[in-house]
């Protein structure tokens, strides 16, 4: 992002410029957060206890005797739910990655909101120069 020329005209820093500068600082701050994102992955890690399907097995009648835990990653792709089986070793890796993904999405939506605010300010500044 190009440094807005606002900071140079700080002498006549009217309220609009001050808040634009504040938004710009916040934007840069949030953008640094992007660098701290670790490997990420869309979805949720589920832990499941399963019935094996054998009528004689204890799991058929007793929920506490179900087998597992089994782990899976679930996410939506093209409107369909996708389930991927995970080993018990893989589960915590994917759980952490899913958390990073949520963090990334939060960051992105904040950056998006802030960008729109800044763009509005920049447009007003550009428009105000036209009249001079």
Q: Which residues bind Zn ion (CB under 5 A)?
A: 52, 57, 59
Residue 52 and residue 68: Cα distance in Å, rounded? 10
Task: Tell the smallest beta-carbon distance from residue 53 to Zn ion (Å).
Answer: 7
Task: Tell the smallest beta-carbon distance from residue 66 to Zn ion (Å).
Answer: 7
Residue number with CB closer to Zn ion (45 or 59) = 59
Residue number with CB closer to Zn ion (49 or 52) = 52
Closest C-alpha to 70, from 92, 93, 46: 46
Residue 47 and residue 69: Cα distance in Å, rounded? 6
Residue number with CB closer to Zn ion (4 or 57) = 57
Calculate ∠ Cα 44-101-74, nearest 5°. Answer: 20
Task: Tell the smallest beta-carbon distance from residue 89 to Zn ion (Å).
Answer: 23
Residue number with CB closer to Zn ion (70 or 75) = 70
Pairing of strands 44-50, 67-77: antiparallel
Task: Tell the smallest beta-carbon distance from residue 101 to Zn ion (Å).
Answer: 34
């Amino acid at each position: 992002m190009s440094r807005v020329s606002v900071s140079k005209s700080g002498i006549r820093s009217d309220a609009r410029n001050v808040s634009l500068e504040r938004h710009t600082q916040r934007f840069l701050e949030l953008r640094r957060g992007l660098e701290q994102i670790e490997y990420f992955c869309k979805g949720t890690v589920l832990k499941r206890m399963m019935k094996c399907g054998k009528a004689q097995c204890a799991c058929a009648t007793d929920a506490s005797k179900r087998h597992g835990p089994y782990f899976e990653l679930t996410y939506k792709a093209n409107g369909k739910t996708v389930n991927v089986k995970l080993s018990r070793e893989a589960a915590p890796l994917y759980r952490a990655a899913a958390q990073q993904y949520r963090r990334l999405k939060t960051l992105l939506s904040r950056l998006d909101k802030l960008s729109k605010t800044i763009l509005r300010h920049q447009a007003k500044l550009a428009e105000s120069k036209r009249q001079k």
